[in-house]
Structure 1
Amino acid sequence: MSNSNIKIGIIGGTGLGDKLGLETGQTVNPDTPFGKPSSPIIHTTWEGVDIYLLQRHGIGHIHNPSAVPYRANIFALKQLGVTHILASGATGSLREEYRPGDLVIVDQIIDKTYKRTNTFFERAAVHVEFADPFCSTMRNWLLNATKYLPSNQALENNDAPKPQNITVHAKGTYVVMEGPAFSTRAESHMHRAWGGDLIGMTAMPEAKLAREAEIAYAMIAMPTDYDCWRPHEVSSKQALLEEIIGNLNRATTNNIALIKAALRDLTILESEPCPAHAALAMGIWSHKDKIPADEINKLQVLWGKYFK
């Protein structure tokens, strides 16, 4: 049982907490300068770890990807003392070897969103490092946990996939599109040419805002189907939908197994520093005496320690 100060926020789709067996706990309804988060946040413990569950799309999946209140979500988790965020989300696959039902510990992002406010800091010049958008310490922690999974081998991009119960890819580039419509076939081929491995709609600005909030952030992507670059092999749209839902259920089951395995051992998180936890140390470029006092107070939760 962990006695550390680590608090883990889990951001996922509807029902993830229920499938994790974590939806019994204290329900918190925080308010933020950016409004209410997508859903009430459930605070519970598992294996002695403080867990905060948030449904990204809201109860009943009411927020489309462009309408998710990303700033409110991350700010609320920061208010609650969350130190690490473990996110998950369904994606399409842009590579033959990233099969539906696999898991991907994402390491890079290509951001194609354009409608979403992607910073907390609108009245100051704040520039965080974002070359590596996902926390390397958290990625190591998740990859270490794969050794506890049944018949698992973490695969590098150039390794041939092997039939096994759970396949976890050790890295992948996630192309984040605005949506809500899916890609055209020409766009899908372009994303592949760019080096994308996965296509989805929710990793940004979530990952960038977590960095600005000095919260370590990692994502487990769940491919549910091949994007439209690859012809579907089913006979009807209904059959395709049923196939995608089946793949999502399988990937979610695999995802939960990985999350539970990781939560049982926080040694890596406790022993290895996360660069995100000091992301603002060199990031505030504005002269602090020129930043409006009301803005400093509004964002006290995020940057207050740098104004003492």
Structure 2
Amino acid sequence: MTTALTPGHHRADIAVIGGSGFYSFFGDDAESIRIDTPYGPTSGPITVGDVAGRPVAFLPRHGVAHEHAPHTLPYRANMWALRTIGVQRVFAPCAVGSLVPEFGPGTVVVPDQLVDRTAGRVQTYFDKGGVHVEFADPYCGDLRDAALQDGVVDGGTMVVVEGPRFSTRAESQWFARQGWTLVNMTGHPEAVLARELELCYTPIALVTDLDAGIEAGQGVRAVDVFAEFQKNIEPLKALVRGAIGSALMGPCESCRVHNGVELPIELP
């Protein structure tokens, strides 16, 4: 069943945004919600279910049939809609390539830093006024702690590229020389939009491949990326459920970045 909600209607305080291959999280009995936003429709339906006794919203980042490419995703609509239904915390599972051989396929990493190498993506809600959000540490520390379940790698720098193509070997080697460890196509502007909305946010990165610069003679193929993600999807979902159960309740003061700032728009 799909329900249209008006802004301010509370439905869930925590959300999961599913990446490539992560298109559903609940059974057929989950409620589907349609949210109208000033930035158009979301990339897919928002479903709401129960995890660890908490109401949780799920949004497939690319749509239920992977309709949206990384550079065309409605990032602003997605994050706005989640806040509209009361979400305060966002776990963002995603597929990543590894820039270091020790993070092989199947490794799950909770990065602590981000490098933006995208081009042309709208990355703010504030098109006027002097609003400059703090972003030195792009991910919520409390939410990262909740995501660090057994076997998960703590820390790493995720470089976000424009896509939809994969990196050249030279680009991949350059990223690795900078000390960056993961490469991804959707982590920006998602993270900064979450910060502008004062949402706690952390990615949970599943390594699907070694990027092109790791080993000569090898490159990245989309079919292999999807196959690796599918192979690990159930353990990843279990990990996300565990993270939800460990996440703190209530507002997070460290992610309230607008205290004392007059905003040019009213947040939902």
Aligned to 2:157: 173
Q: 1:193 to 1:283 in 2, by over 3 A?
A: farther
Asked if the contact 1:127–1:283 (Cα under 8 Å) also holds between the matched residues in 2, the reply is no
Corresponding residue for residue 273 of structure 1:
252
Q: Name the structure 1 match of 2:19.
A: 13
Shift of 1:253: 2.6
CA distance in 2 between counterparts of 1:74 and 1:37 reads: 9
Kept in 2, the 8 Å contact 1:136–1:274? The answer is: no
Q: Deviation digits for residues 267-307 of structure 1, max 9, x if unmatched?
A: xx13893511x1111554xxx7xx5xxxx3xx342xxxxxx
Name the CA shift for 1:14/1:200 in 2 (closer, same or farther; >3 Å): closer
What is the CA distance between 1:22 and its match in structure 2?
4.7
- Structure 2 partner of 1:228: 212
- Opposite residue 52 of structure 2, the aligned amino acid is E
- What whole-Å deviation, never above 9, does each CA across 1:52-106 have from its counterpart, x for those lacking one? 1101111211111010000000000011100100001111100011110010011
Conserved in 1, the CA contact under 8 Å of 2:146 and 2:244? Answer: no
Q: Indicate the structure (1 or 2) with the bigger Cα radius of gyration.
A: 1
Q: Does 1:206 align with 2:190?
A: yes
Q: Is residue 2:164 matched to residue 1:183?
A: no
| Residue 65, structure 1, aligned to residue 77, structure 2 | no
What is the TM-score normalised by the length of structure 1? 0.77
1:15, 1:42 → 2: CA distance? Answer: 17
Unaligned runs of 5+ in 2: 1-10
Identity of aligned residues (%): 36
Gaps of 5+ in 1: 147-151, 153-166, 302-308
Asked whether the equivalents of residues 103 and 221 of structure 1 are also in contact (C-alpha less than 8 Å), the reply is yes
Q: Does residue 90 of the first structure (1) align with residue 95 of the second (2)? A: yes
Partner AA of 2:49 in structure 1: T
Change over 3 Å in CA distance of 1:15–1:183 after alignment to 2: closer
Q: Distance in 2 between matches of 1:248 and 1:15?
A: 6
| 1:211-260 Cα shifts (integer Å, max 9, x gaps) | 000100011001101000123788x99xx666544421233233212112
Separation in 1, partners of 2:14, 2:76: 18
- Give 2:33's aligned residue: 28
- For the residues of structure 2 that align with 1:207 and 1:242, how far apart are their CA atoms? 27
Where does residue 5 of structure 2 map in the other structure? none
Q: State how many pairs are aligned.
A: 258
CA contact (8 A) 1:137 1:272 kept: no
Q: Residue 45 of structure 1: SS of its match in structure 2? A: strand
Q: Which structure has more strand as a fraction of its residues? A: 2
SS in 2 for 1:117: coil
State the secondary structure of the residue aligned to 1:204.
helix
Cα RMSD of the aligned pairs, angstroms, is: 2.4
For residues 216 and 77 of structure 2, the distance between their equivalents in structure 1, rounded to whole angstroms, comes to 38
Which residue identity lines up with residue 177 of structure 1 in the other structure?
A: V
